[in-house]
Amino acid sequence: MALKSTVFKAELQVSDLDRGHFAEYAFTVARHPSETDERMMVRILAFALYAGPDLAFSKGLSSDDDCALQEVDPSGVLRTWIEVGQPDESRIRKGCNKADRAVVLSYGARSVDVWWQQVAPLLARFSNLTVLRLTAEETQALGRLAERSMKLSCTIQEGTIWLAGGEQSIQLTPETLLSAQAG
């Protein structure tokens, strides 16, 4: 018998001072049986960082072709493709070619260093790609915020993120490994 996804409900208040984006979101997140709380919370963090009216969670781990999140405008154009973890170069290339903007929010302690050494030379040619890195401590703290029903508050200012849920509050400062060129 196949294991079913675990359903999490979240209310997320985003105050992104860097983008001037202030909104509240309510959504349901299905955590795949093979997904950890950390990865699910990294997906929610990615949502907070790029929140907008057209951003949505994709099928994710249950579909080999889908990214973690995507922003599709009302005319059906894929504006933003977002993946979390350490995707291979071919997956990132597909995302860069499909969307106006591609983002990878990487995590995984020291394995990120090995992954980045392998893919960085291959990804430098993509002017629409941003790659961010979270530390192991940051993703562990994110994982501890996971609850079946969450009320989260996220403030973003000058690249620093404050995320609060329940009685906990954490500060994250993702490292930029590659930044999309303005244009």
Q: Per the domain annotation, does 164 fall within a domain?
A: yes
CATH number at residue 25: 3.10.640.10
Counting the structural domains of the chain, the total is 1
Q: Per the domain annotation, does 43 fall within a domain?
A: yes
Query: What pLDDT was estimated at residue 62?
Result: 47
Q: Per the domain annotation, does 66 fall within a domain?
A: yes
Q: What single-letter amino acid sits at 28?
A: T
Question: Contact, 52 vs 40, CB < 8 A?
Answer: no
Query: What pLDDT was estimated at residue 181?
Result: 76
Quick one: pLDDT band at residue 77, thresholds 50, 70, 90?
A: very high
Provide, rounded to the nearest whole percent, the portion of the chain with pLDDT above 70. Answer: 94
Q: Domain of 128?
A: 6-178
pTM: 0.93
Q: Per the domain annotation, does 163 fall within a domain?
A: yes
Question: Contact, 13 vs 24, CB < 8 A?
Answer: yes
In 3-state terms, what secondary structure has residue 161? strand
Distance CA 132, CA 106 (A): 6
Element (H, E) at 44: helix 37-49
Q: Per the domain annotation, does 183 fall within a domain?
A: no
